[in-house]
Structure 1
């Protein structure tokens, strides 16, 4: 995490050790997956070229490197993403939990790509929000956060007002303070207009 317009702002980068990444990649080779992607700050490493993946990461014009991660990935990555079909995602996540839980956290992105997002243990979106809030002097109770997937759980719990999207997973809706409409129905805008009295 960094401030793009303030070089003196205390940035936060807690990557996964490269040796852990190699262990994870090696250990899942016996499972079926479609792709592996690594993020190193603003650089993206994609094992297999896939326009669906590239379209997700093209925003901001990052440097994208295609090819074998063992060859090209030389720095500790911010995150590791494994793309697999829905059934194999469950199997791979079970394996990650059984074998690597002491050093990594993993969450899932839902359809259409079914991606497993892996970060260093102890990291989640709530950690990032707390870091920014502390720097800006914003109390927790004045934070509104929106989420729809299980990588949003800690953030929704942390925020003073945690809002689940209408298209969100049920476990997120169960802990949210509010539930809004879906992304496609302007759910975020509706809450902000109401809460910030913008109408």
Structure 2
């Protein structure tokens, strides 16, 4: 069998509903790597929420985070490392219009950067509930161009926010809604997606599209699943994602669906 590149999304795919990677999944991924194939995390998560999982699986290779906007190796220098940034002046411009645009919370992130405009209430889990003085978004603290902005917007002002971004930054930024009840959106560089990261990995390893297997469950996995030679949607995936995938796992993410699919595919 040709060497395969296995690209794995995390939430709803590799992780169970408690956001944990099961021991069975760890064992299976390592068996696949022992056969000579490569496994790479390709996630929407920021680095700070990937490192523990990366270490738990026992990886030592590059990973893609922020939905394709950042590619790096946490353990070593990587000559294909990259990042797509947002100019920090844009951050301050958006914050200056926070009230009129309904911006309640904003997290500003990069590879080793995490700032926020204010402390969050407990019910919105992604945003910090306590910030040290150096963790607030100020001109003094924000000294580099970030990779991603995550914002919680008042639902009644969402259309105003979208219009402002489209009218002022539509040629350089894209808006991606999270879905769910908290009205959260991400801002990142335009036309960058998980496919971007997969293309870099494919080039780095010299593995063709035909030999890429990608697993995902959500809308942000669409470009990755379409690019891969074998795009596999999780049983628990969005209907649209399952409809465009080449295959669907027999079991969901809470039943080790990824691991069981790989066991069957590689006959391990």
Fold similarity call, TM over 0.5: yes
Q: Contact 1:143–1:160 at 8 Å: present in 2 too? A: yes
Is it true that 1:121 corresponds to 2:171 in the alignment? no
Offset at 1:106? 2.2
Is it true that 1:144 corresponds to 2:144 in the alignment? no
Task: Look up the match of 2:26.
Answer: none
Q: Contact 1:108–1:149 at 8 Å: present in 2 too? A: no
Give the whole-Å Cα distance in 2 for the aligned partners of 1:109 and 1:26: 23
**Which shifted more, 87-96 or 101-110?**
87-96
Q: Contact 2:151–2:185 at 8 Å: present in 1 too? A: yes
Q: For residues 58-111 of structure 1, what are the alpha-carbon distances to aligned partners after superposition, in whole Å with 9 as ceiling and x for unaligned?
A: xxxxx9953235553221101111124667656644653454321112222233
Larger radius of gyration: 2
What does residue range 72-83 of structure 1 map to in structure 2 within 5 Å?
72-83=141-152
After TM superposition, the score normalised by the length of structure 2 is: 0.60
Is it true that 1:17 corresponds to 2:87 in the alignment? yes
Is it true that 1:173 corresponds to 2:256 in the alignment? no
After TM superposition, the score normalised by the length of structure 1 is: 0.78
Give the whole-Å Cα distance in 2 for the aligned partners of 1:75 and 1:125: 23
Is it true that 1:7 corresponds to 2:77 in the alignment? yes
Is it true that 1:45 corresponds to 2:115 in the alignment? yes
Give the whole-Å Cα distance in 2 for the aligned partners of 1:64 and 1:145: 41
Offset at 1:172? 2.2
Tell me the SS of whatever aligns to 1:195. helix
What does residue range 25-174 of structure 1 map to in structure 2 within 5 Å?
25-27=95-97, 29-50=99-120, 52-53=125-126, 66-69=135-138, 72-84=141-153, 92-93=161-162, 95-97=164-166, 99-111=168-180, 113-174=182-243
Question: Paired residues, what number?
Answer: 191
RCO (CA 8 Å, sep 6+): is it higher in 1 or 2? Answer: 2
Q: RMSD between aligned alpha carbons?
A: 3.0
Give the whole-Å Cα distance in 1 for the aligned partners of 2:258 and 2:238: 16
Q: For residues 10-52 of structure 1, what are the alpha-carbon distances to aligned partners after superposition, in whole Å with 9 as ceiling and x for unaligned?
A: 3111211222333344455423344111112122112223462
Q: For residues 116-141 of structure 1, what are the alpha-carbon distances to aligned partners after superposition, in whole Å with 9 as ceiling and x for unaligned?
A: 12211121111111101211111111
Listed as ranges, the gaps of 5+ residues in structure 2 are 1-70
Listed as ranges, the gaps of 5+ residues in structure 1 are 56-62
